[in-house]
Amino acid sequence: MGRGQQTETAVAGVTATRRAEAVARAAANVKAAVQGRSAADELKVVIQEMDPNSIGFDVQTYEEIDKAAAQAKCTGTSVVGGTFGLGTARRLRAALGFRPGESAEIQVVFDRSGSIHAKPELNREQILMAEQWEDLERQIEHIGYGGGSRVGVGVSGYDGGWNNATVYEIKPAGGPDNDPYGDHAKLNLAYMSRLGGGGTPTTQGVVHGINTLGKSSAEEKVLVVITDGMANTIDTCALAVAAAREQGIRVIGALQDPEQDYSFMDEQFGPDNWYPINDAEKAPEAFLEHLEKMRGPFVEWESSHGFVA
């Protein structure tokens, strides 16, 4: 299957020396607030300093992936496990703090690097988690919040190096419109498990999440990045995460295979902004517990209006 023709301006493809210089200066400016520049501004500076011929990453569209998965007759039926339980809708509203009539969108981005492909158990875990996230959207759609409130969940993946990074749109939030209750996320990720994999361009995954959520009209926006290893460049990943947060997007890291030195997660996402996935079947509860620790600004309002966390 050919790659999608879309490209998005992102951090990619500069010589090691120039990239290191740009990243070092940008990271220093973010940490020290030098010249009053925001992380978003600094991210643009880093991008501008890179080789213009190499900037960007391919986007393999949902339509391409979904069609290929259907032709490959992926079933994913061998993967079963835990789901988001009863009370999830209430817990999400309390933790995110969106009011009746407001909505939330969650974009989940999976690291599809070579290390994931090399370990069948990690692949199976990701397929399971894709199904969990898709089921969350269906569950809330079925239960409903009332007052027009909704929660959309989109799923993507990423792999590749600085010069060949690709983002895969596995399932759009709130859909697909033609079959909103199908198992598209699970089946499309099962199809992708047959493909290669490569490096870990987490920066590009975050930038794609920013771009996608930037088009959303939801009041609360969350980006969940599920990875098993350090980004190709940790500093630019941290910079992209900071830029997302400046735009009102909550970025949460999740570490698969946590039996390792996880200090890079602190550097990429912040020491209080990621959680380990020790058991994929319990991943929904791990996410909710972490989100509840990051309680939003409307907790007092929620409590006063009878929403009990």
pLDDT digits (tens, 9 = 90+) for 211-257: 899 899 999 999 999 999 999 888 888 888 988 888 889 999 999 98
- pLDDT bin (cut points 50, 70, 90) of residue 34 is very low
Q: What are the boundaries of each domain within the chain?
A: 57-304
Q: What pLDDT, on the 0 to 100 scale, is given for residue 47?
A: 57
The answer on pLDDT for 282 being more than 60 is: yes
State the chain's mean pLDDT as an integer: 77
SS (H, E, C) the chain: CCCCCEEECCCCCCCHHHHHHHHHHHHHHHHHCHHHCCHHHHHHHHHHCCCCCCCCEEEECHHHHHHHHHHCCCCCCCCCCCCCCCCHHHHHHHHHCCCCCCCEEEEEEEECCHHHHHCHHHHHHHHHHHHHHHHHHHHHHHHCCCCCCCEEEEEEEEECCCCCCEEEEEECCCCCCCCCCCCHHHHHHHHHCCCCCCCCCHHHHHHHHHHHHHCCCCCEEEEEEEECCCCCCHHHHHHHHHHHHHCCEEEEEEECCCCCCCHHHHHHHCCCCEEECCCHHHHHHHHHHHHHHCCCCCHHHHHHCCCCC
Residue predicted with more confidence, 11 or 214: 214
57-304 has which fold? Rossmann fold (3.40.50)
- Mean pLDDT check: name the lowest of 43-52, 149-158, 205-214: 43-52
The answer on pLDDT for 276 being more than 90 is: yes
Alpha-carbon distances of 139 from 85, 135, 216, rounded to whole Å: 9, 6, 21
| Average pLDDT of the segment spanning 169-189 | 82
The amino acid at 175? G
Q: What pLDDT, on the 0 to 100 scale, is given for residue 220?
A: 93
Q: 113: Cβ–Cβ under 8 A, 6 or more apart, which residues? A: 159, 197, 198, 199, 200, 227, 228, 229
- pLDDT bin (cut points 50, 70, 90) of residue 59 is confident
pLDDT digits (tens, 9 = 90+) for 81-137: 678 887 888 888 888 888 888 899 999 999 999 888 888 889 889 989 998 998 888
